[in-house]
Amino acid sequence: MLSVLDLFAVVSFPAIDPIAFSIGPLAVHWYGLAYVAGILIGWLVARDLLRRPNLWHNGTPPATVEQIDDFILWVAIGIVAGGRIGYILFYDFAAVAANPVRAIEVWNGGMSFHGGFLGATLAMVFFARKHLVPLWSLFDIVASVAPLGIFFGRIANFINGELWGRPSDVPWAMAFPTGGPFPRHPSPLYEAALEGLLLFVMLQLLARAFGALRQPGRITGVFVTLYAAARIFVEFFREPDAQIGYLFGGWLTMGMVLSIPMALVGLWILAWSGRAARAPVKED
């Protein structure tokens, strides 16, 4: 007789249609809706932060709600363009070099978080310079809501049955449709929980309960460091991309390689932010 754990161990991947709904010939995928949901909900949370002067140094928010409204288009372009270009450069360069048309075949999937992160960063730099918004405070606003996008994106990865984990016999292992007959770690759900939901809650607590937004760079440093740490941890359970495989020793993956310098940058930001907060204020 099967135990409760045995029953869970043989549960197949839930059959969820990657297409949320169709309007005539137009098919709307969960993956696209995930990007929309992450950006829109993040925008609403960012607006709420700016409407609370007590969260900011000297009671002065670094930007207006109207400026954040304008910024949404900038960051959306940065995330999508950076995510796609990053995937091509980091994970699929050989295939795209052999067939350049593949670069625009977005319906075949392929988005890199690290590329999207760089694209969003460039969008923030350009926007801050144009609108005279304090750059590190803008970084903090975006970092405080970025895990929402990660959460929805990883849930969409799970619905698509992609980015599955390594074979496993844990009670919650699932047989993914494209992962062969073996039960695997549902690694997209690990990432949704750690890099998304948990990190979002932590950053909101730092911002709202501990005054972290009054110290420019702190929220950004925490986000960058903890995301990189969570990603490296999950990579031990996630199957590497087939076209790349392991880079060394049967354990080192491209996701780890890209996350290590990210973690170092995050620690540097935290150290810089701490020194800046301790620096004496110069009087005229």
Point out the annotated binding site. 154
Largest separation between any pair of C-alpha atoms in the chain:
81
Q: Could you give phi then psi for residue 22, rounded to 5 degrees?
A: -125, 145
Distance of CA 12 to the CA centre of its chain: 27
Instruction: Supply the angle between the helices 30-50 and 65-91 in degrees, to the nearest 10.
Output: 140
Give the residues across from 165 on adjacent strands: 238
* Residue type at 202 in one-letter notation: M
d(CA 187, CA 193): 10
Pair 110, 84: CB distance under 8 Å: yes
Evaluated on CA atoms 95, 99, 104, 106, the torsion sign reads negative
